[in-house]
Structure 1
Amino acid sequence: MSSNPPIPTKPDDVTASWLSAVLTDTAADVIVDEVQVTAVGTGQTGATYRVQARYGNQQPGLPDSFIIKLPHQDLSVRERVSPSYRSEHSFYTDVADTVRAPVPQCYHCEIDETGADFVLLLEDLAPAVQGDQLAGCDLAQANLAVEALAGLHGPRWCDPTWLQFSGATMPKPDAAFAKGMGDIAKMAADTTLEKLGSAMTVDARETLRETSTLVADWLMLEPDRYCLLHGDYRLDNLLFDPENTRVTVVDWQTLTVGLPARDLAYFIATGLHPQTRAETEQDLVRRYHRTLVTYGIDDYSESDCWRDYRLGLPQIPLIASFGTAFSASTDRGDGMMVAMLERGCQAIRELGTLELIRELS
Structure 2
Amino acid sequence: MSRSPRGIRDSAELREALAAVGVISPGYTGSLEVVRIGAGFGLSGVTARVVVEEAPRRAVVVKRDAAETIRREQLFYTRGALALGSSVPGYLGALVDGDTGLLVLEDVAPARSLDVLAGCDDATAERLVATLAVLHASTWSGSDPTRTDPALPRWRCRACTAGEWAVRLGMARRRFPDLLDDEATDVLMALPGRVTQVLDRLAGGPQCWIHADAHLDNVLRRPDGTVVLLDWATSCSGPPLVDLAQLLAGGLVNDPVSQRTRTAALVQAYTDTLTDHGVTDAGSSAAAVAEAALPWVQGIVGWAAAPELPAGRAGDVLRAQLAVALAWAR
Q: Confirm or deny a common fold (TM above 0.5).
A: yes
2:246 aligned partner: 266
Asked if 1:296 is matched to 2:296, the reply is: no
Deviation, structure 1 residue 23: 3.0
Residue of structure 2 equivalent to 1:167: 153
Cα root mean square deviation, aligned? 3.3
Q: Taking structure 1 as reference, are residues 318 and 326 closer, same or farther at Cα in structure 2, changes over 3 Å only?
A: farther
1:215-294 counterparts in 2 under 5 A?
215-222=195-202, 223-243=204-224, 245-271=225-251, 272-274=253-255, 277-294=259-276
Selected match of 2:109 from 126, 129, 135: 126
1:264/1:326 Cα in 2 relative to 1: closer, same or farther (>3 Å)? farther
1:186 to 153, 165, 175: 165
What is the CA–CA distance in structure 1 between the aligned matches of 2:170 and 2:11, rounded to whole Å?
A: 38
Aligned equivalents of 2:171, 2:210: Cα separation in 1: 24
Q: Distance in 1 between matches of 2:166 and 2:73?
A: 27
Q: Residue 151 in 1 paired to residue 131 in 2?
A: no
Residue 239 of structure 1 and its aligned partner are, at CA, apart by 0.7
**Which structure: greater helix fraction?**
1
* CA displacement at 1:29 relative to structure 2: 7.7
Say whether 1:111 aligns with 2:100: no
Cα deviation code 1:205-248 (max 9, x no counterpart):
443332234323321114132212211111101111234x2000
1:11-47 deviation per Cα after TM superposition (whole angstroms, max 9, x unaligned): 23267842552233x7988967321111123467421
Distance in 1 (alpha carbons) for counterparts of 2:68 and 2:302:
15
Q: Which residue of 1 aligns with 2:53?
A: 54
- Secondary structure of the residue aligned to 1:11 is coil
Residue 32 of structure 2 is matched in structure 1 by 35
For 1:39 and 1:188, locate their aligned partners in 2 and report how far apart those are by CA, in whole Å. Answer: 37
Q: Specify the code of the residue in structure 1 equivalent to 2:270.
A: Y
Q: Which amino acid aligns with 2:317?
A: M
SS in 2 for 1:254: coil
> Could you state the TM-score of these two structures normalised by the residue count of structure 2?
0.81
The TM-score normalised by the length of structure 1 is 0.74
Q: What's the CA shift for 1:297?
A: 0.4
CA deviation vs aligned residue, 1:52-104 (integer Å, no higher than 9, x gap): 01345x5xxxx711111113xxxxxx5xxx65444323322332235568210
Q: Could you say if the C-alpha distance between residues 99 and 131 of structure 1 is closer, same or farther in structure 2, counting changes exceeding 3 Å?
A: closer
Number of positions where the alignment pairs a residue of Structure 1 with one of Structure 2: 315
Structure 2: give runs of 5+ residues left out of the alignment: 1-5
Aligned 8 A contact 1:33 1:55 in 2: yes
Q: Look up the match of 2:10.
A: 12
Q: Percent identity?
A: 24
The whole-number CA distance in structure 2 between the counterparts of 1:347 and 1:330 is 24
Structure 2 counterpart of 1:347: 328
Residue 62 of structure 2 corresponds to: 68
Residue in 1 that maps onto 2:177: 198
Q: What is the correspondence of 1:95-106 to structure 2 with a 5 Å cutoff? A: 95-97=80-82, 102-106=87-91
1:20–1:31 Cα contact (<8 Å) kept: no
SS at match of 2:87: coil
Question: What secondary structure sits across from 2:273 in the alignment?
Answer: helix
Maintained 8 Å contact 2:300/2:325: no
Distance, in Å, in 2 between the alignment partners of 1:47 and 1:136 is 24
